A = this chain, B = another copy of it.
Amino acid sequence: MVHTETSELTGSKTFLTQEAFLQEWLGHRRLTRKVIEAFPEDKLFSFSVGGMRTFAALAMEIIRMGAPGLRGIVTRKWQTMEEVEQEYPTPPTKKDLLDLWDQTTAAIVELWPQISAERLQETDKVFGLYEGKVYWSILYFVDNEIHHRAQGFVYLRALGIEPPPFWDRY
C-alpha cells in the first residue's frame, strides 16, 4: 500500500479522539503514580538494575516531558531541557515527588483542551530538538512513560516487591 502522508493522517477513520487520548494518558499517570508509591523511600532514590538510572530519575524524566512538552505545544515557546531541569529539580523525598507528579498532572489537564486539531497535525521541534508532528510527539511522551514505568516494575520485582497490575489505571 502506498499512502501520502496527508491521507494517512487526515483522510482516514478516527481511531482515537483527543478526549479519549487524554483519558488514556491520565489512566497511565495514575498507574505510574502507584509505581512511585510502591518504592521504599530510600530505594526510589538509590536502587537500579544494570547500571541504569534510579526510578526517581526515570519519574523525573516523565515529569519533565509531559507538562513542559504540552506547554511548548500550546504556547509555541520551547524551553531547553536544561531550563526544564532547573524549573523541576529532583525533589528530596517521595512525598515531594508525588506532589510534583500531581501538580504536573493538573497542568496536563489544563493545557490539553488548548491544543487544536490543526495544531496536532503541525510539525514542530519539541524542546528545540526533536522534530515531528505534534500528535506524534504527544504519543512519544506517553509511550516513554509506559517504557520507563515498566523498568520500575523490574526494579520492584528485583527488590521483592509486587508491582501494581498493569491494567490498574484507576
Interface residues of A in 129-170 (CB under 8 A from B): 135, 139-140, 143-144, 146-151, 153-160, 166-167
Interface string of A19-38 (1 = CB under 8 A from B): 11101100010000000000
Residues of A within 8 A of B (CB): 3, 7-21, 23-24, 28, 49-52, 116-117, 120, 135, 139-140, 143-144, 146-151, 153-160, 166-167
CA distance A150 to B157 in the complex (A): 14
Chain B nearest Cβ from A21, distance in angstroms: 4
The 5 nearest A-B residue pairs measured at CB: A50-B157, A150-B150, A50-B158, A12-B17, A12-B19
Q: Sample 5 A-B pairs with CB under 8 A, ordered by A number.
A: A8-B23, A9-B20, A11-B17, A15-B18, A147-B150
State the number of copies, please.
2
A13/B117 in contact, CB under 8 A: yes
A139-B24, A146-B147, A166-B147 known; A49 vs B17 contact (CB < 8 Å)? no
Task: Give A23 to B139 CA distance when docked, in angstroms.
Answer: 12
Give the complex CA separation of A120 and B117 in angstroms: 21
Are the CB atoms of A16 and B19 closer together than 8 Å?
no
**Nearest-neighbor residue (CB-CB) of A132 within chain B:** B167
Which residue on B lies nearest to A158, using beta carbons?
B50
- Are B3 and A13 within 8 A (Cβ)? no
| Shortest Cβ gap from A92 to chain B (Å) | 26
Beta-carbon nearest neighbor of A8 in chain B: B19
Contacts of A8 in B (CB 8 A): 17, 19-20, 23
